[in-house]
Amino acid sequence: MTPFWTYPPRGMLFDDTLLDIAPHGCLTVLRGVSILMTPFWTYPPRGMLFNDTLLDIAPHGCLTVLRGVSILMTPFWTYPPRGMLFNDTLLDIAPLGCLTVLRGTSVSMTPYWTYPPRGMLFDDTLLDIAPHGCLTVLRGVSILMTPFWTYPPRGMLFDDTLLDIMHLLGV
């Protein structure tokens, strides 16, 4: 498996099949680009679930960040600015090249992420919670496998019983 941050932006050497779409079009797998290149990602559907102004490229040049928003158009993480809620040293690259970065919320907020289903598509030992809930790194599956993550809006797409990691944040 080739780490996703080692291939160039769209063109002869770009493989669109590496762009995995999460269930319901909520979030794409993060893919690496040079900071000098324009964003190359695609994501369906546009409209209520997405806001183009929330797309950005990480300054490191190793991650493409697709900022998802809830159906109510409320961003569930911010990036940048950094500061108290973010620490660049917390960015990890999964050894198998399957990194998903969900940038976190205020320490006073309840964790919003879920991570079903488990089993073949997920290994709980790969779930790292950064201090103060600033960063959640879901390390995990092959790019050939079905994406395993979900995120709010709550309700049909969200199961509060899956928030069994809250004790790690002191919530």
- Mean pLDDT (whole number) for 100-108: 30
Place of tokens 């050497």: 13
Whether 79 and 86 have beta carbons less than 8 Å apart is answered as yes
pTM: 0.15
Asked if residue 167 belongs to a domain, the reply is: no
**Signed CA dihedral, 54, 56, 62, 66: sign only:** positive
Question: What whole-number distance in Å separates Cα of residue 3 and Cα of residue 151?
Answer: 24
The pLDDT, as a whole number, for residue 38 is: 27
Whether 152 and 158 have beta carbons less than 8 Å apart is answered as yes
Show the domain range for 65: 15-112
- Mean pLDDT (whole number) for 2-7: 30
Q: How many domains does the chain have?
A: 1
Asked if residue 79 belongs to a domain, the reply is: yes
Asked if residue 22 belongs to a domain, the reply is: yes
Asked if residue 133 belongs to a domain, the reply is: no
Question: What whole-number distance in Å separates Cα of residue 133 and Cα of residue 130?
Answer: 6
Asked if residue 72 belongs to a domain, the reply is: yes
Asked if residue 25 belongs to a domain, the reply is: yes
Q: Residue 21 — pLDDT band, cuts 50, 70, 90?
A: very low
Question: What whole-number distance in Å separates Cα of residue 75 and Cα of residue 155?
Answer: 17
Asked if residue 4 belongs to a domain, the reply is: no
The pLDDT, as a whole number, for residue 4 is: 32
Asked if residue 105 belongs to a domain, the reply is: yes
Q: Residue 96 — pLDDT band, cuts 50, 70, 90?
A: very low
